[in-house]
Amino acid sequence: MEFSHVVEPALSASTDLLVMVVFGDPSKDATFRALDTATGKGLSEAAKSESFEGKSGQSLVLWSNGATKAKRIAVLGIGPKSEVELPAFRDVGAVAAQVANKVGAKSLALVLPALGSQREGGAIQMLAEGAILGTYKFGRYLTGAEAKKASSLQHFGFIVETKGKKPTAAQSRTVKASIERASVIAAAVSRARDMINEPAAYMTPSQVGAEAEAIAKKHDSVTVQVLSAKKCEDLGMGMFLAVGKGSDQESKLVHLVYKPKKAKKKIALIGKGVTFDSGGYSLKPSNAMEDMKVDMSGAAAVIAAIDAIATLGSEHEVHAIAACCENLVSGRAYKLGDVLTSMDGTTVEINNTDAEGRLTLGDAITYVRTKVQPDEMFDFATLTGACMVALGPYTAGVMSDHDGLCRAWLAAAERAGEDMWRLPLTTRLREQLKSPVADMRNTGDRFGGAITAGLFLKTFAKDTPWVHVDIAGPASLSTSRPHQPRGGTGFAVASIVEYLAKR
Ligand code: BES
Ligand code: MN
Ligand code: ZN
């Protein structure tokens, strides 16, 4: 899909589909009234008969019948202006693109509603991201003709209201920069989605390494190392390697580095990379196991984010680390009651082999803390069902003892339009992790499960400023929303880029 700045005003734009956005009652909108007059009251009559009130999610589509240069007109509601936040435009961009594809339009021109120049760039970015992400399809394994059919929409133009004057150079620059940033972010999110949606039979630990290598090859500023299981053994990563013991796929530690010419800070992003989680001997029931190829969503997010960061540039040195393995059952698999020795020497009694993520992450955190020695580190993990119970399927749980860092992260996530909510690292729950035979055990009780997982990880983070992001809910969706078709969402990529990439 190509994006452009359309300089003709709404009434004279020649396009297959003219799209306008209204904040509630359409009759209050000047563009709507102008189009209504041009169509001989066609728009207001349609609005009346279809009870269109400009609410979020509502839409009207009309054949213009020659009344405008555009073949069709679509009016999309976004809800009252006072309540609309920029990320709402991502869904609007997605719906606009979906309407275009439904009616077979090759081009569309969207009239940007008046938001004030400060928010224009942000809205254009969200609209463009939505258009790309809302038409994302994982079709690699579909063989039918319908599935192979390409989207009709090729050109997505933006009409920026200029009150009769020519668009200024500054406006053109804003449109161009917003479109570019959106394209880079949406490409990275789509890459993460592809990695997540691939079946575990394909997306093995080695394949995750290959994806990282492909990104490093694209950018001079990015280097990669894929550490073998043997190398990880030499490093003493006993927790990480235990999880992959039951698999025929070799465990791999993937380490990508983006280096700017001069770096301010060193920031590490750690992703959970369990390419399939059967639960191990604490076997998951079939329905809970069905979607467990998504258990590498954190790895996909941090790896794909490096691609966008390298394209956009960052003033920081950014590391992405994923300890990748499969949690399976076999004669070599780790068992309940085993005592593992982690990279930092802590011993851990296994009382549940399905709490494998914290074992892989614990050693990844120690690797980062001691080998990378970052100023800040973040981990992204589909870690606990308990986090979904607490916050629902759309919100990530954020845990940290570093208030300033945590607030800065949450602010970036909010700007990026990804729902995240802080949970406390309640120290008292630490008791649940006591073991009679080792320094600790890997799981606590059912209540507070997201927090005890966070406390387990904290043991390894020690004093390094660290934020833990549990993405078990939002990493994949079973019901779609406009800019997120069902399956892997690429959640966290947009927030990471917002936090780290240059403007
Ligand atoms: N990968 C799962 C968590 C998960 C659940 C991710 C649902 C995405 C959707 C994780 O490894 C796991 O199995 N966690 C256990 C922890 C428990 C044994 C303490 C869980 O949540 O049940
Ligand atoms: Mn598990
Ligand atoms: Zn898991």
In the chain, where are the structural domains located? 2-186, 222-500
Strand partners, 268: 319, 377
The CATH number assigned to the domain with range 222-500 reads 3.40.630.10
Is the shortest distance between the CB of 472 and ligand 1 below 6 Å?
Answer: yes
| Residue closest by Cα to atom 17 of ligand 1 | 355
Local confidence band at 480 (pLDDT 50, 70, 90 cut-offs): very high
Residue pair 477/388 in contact by the 8 Å Cβ criterion: no
Residue 150 has pLDDT above 90, yes or no: no
pTM score: 0.98
Mean pLDDT on 281-296: 98
Residue 162 — pLDDT band, cuts 50, 70, 90? confident
Per-residue pLDDT at 164 exceeds 80: no
- Where b means 16+ CB within 10 Å and e means fewer, 404-432 reads ebbeebbebbbbbbbebeebebeeebbeb
Least confident interval from 166-170, 236-240, 316-320: 166-170
Mean pLDDT of 411-430: 98
Model confidence at 502: pLDDT above 90: yes
Active-site residue, 230 included:
no
Q: What is the pLDDT of residue 357?
A: 99
Q: Is the CB of 386 under 6 A from ligand 1?
A: yes
Percent of the chain at pLDDT > 90 equals: 95
Average pLDDT over residues 243-260: 98
Query: What is the per-residue pLDDT across 297-337, written as a single tens digit (0 to 9) for each?
Result: 999 999 999 999 999 999 999 999 999 999 999 999 999 99
Short-list 380, 370, 320, CA closest to 345: 370
438 alpha-carbon distance from chain centroid: 37
- pLDDT tens column, 37-95: 999 999 999 999 999 999 999 999 999 999 999 999 999 999 999 999 999 999 999 99
The mean pLDDT of the chain is 97
Is the CB of 347 inside a 6 Å radius of any atom of ligand 1?
no
Nearest to 79 by CA among 92, 65, 63, 60: 92
Domains 2-186 and 222-500 share a fold: no
Taking residues 90-101, report their average pLDDT: 98
Fold of the 2-186 domain = Leucine Aminopeptidase, subunit E; domain 1 (3.40.220)
- Residue 175: HSE in the Cβ half-sphere, 13 Å Cα cutoff: 21
426 C-alpha to ligand 3 centroid (Å): 22
pLDDT digits (tens, 9 = 90+) for 102-126: 999 999 999 999 888 889 999 999 9
Q: How far away, in angstroms, is 237 Cα from ligand 2 center?
A: 19
State residue 41's pLDDT score. Answer: 96
**Does residue 407 carry a pLDDT above 90?**
yes
Say what the pLDDT of residue 163 is.
76
Ligand with minimal distance to 472 CA: 1
Name 320's bridge partners.
256, 269
**pLDDT computed for residue 116 by the predictor:** 86
Give 323's DSSP letter.
E
Tens digit of pLDDT for each residue in 177-194?
999 999 999 999 999 999
Structure tokens at 410: 């949450």
What pLDDT, on the 0 to 100 scale, is given for residue 179? 98
Closest Cα to atom 7 of ligand 1: 385
Atom of ligand 1 nearest to the CA of 453: 19
pLDDT of 133 > 90? The answer is yes
Tell whether ligand 1 has an atom less than 6 A from the beta carbon of residue 246.
no
Whether 41 sits among the annotated catalytic residues: the reply is no
Q: What is the pLDDT averaged over residues 236-254? A: 99
